Structure 1
């Protein structure tokens, strides 16, 4: 679906109208070591920012660290979950109510 132009005749960028799945949001179990390294690095940067009194920087880094920690927790949950196979949804029941 193509978005219609706004009042000024501009169209939004194509990325605003896409309905493709967000593959980049899926967690890759292979990325765990890198994620741990990122969290460790963010902790070091938080300590440095606190030492220098950069309060805005501290807040932003903590937000990033907390998001990375949540991703790590989700990754651990994904690793603990048993593999999922095909799911039988059954066949729909069709009744003849036309009588």
Structure 2
């Protein structure tokens, strides 16, 4: 993440979970606090990808929603440093399958 971009990296297994309609959720520790990072299939079945940030006094959530067609494109391209991207309001949001991580368990 930098001033003009957000990059979400997922494993092969997490991509399969997303394709099956299941969200991928992780907790990111930031000092004494934590932030929920969630990637989910777009509920309206649109083809685009968008990020939303929600914060209240007790919690913060960064949520990336991705269209099913975009996820299929990501699976077809395999592990790539580029992944899929969208630019919104001057910020580029990118989703990619991490080339360094693999999942060997079930």
Q: TM-score, normalised by structure 1?
A: 0.28
The structure whose residues are more often strand, as a share, is 2
- State the structure with more CA Rg: 1
Q: TM-score, normalised by structure 2?
A: 0.27
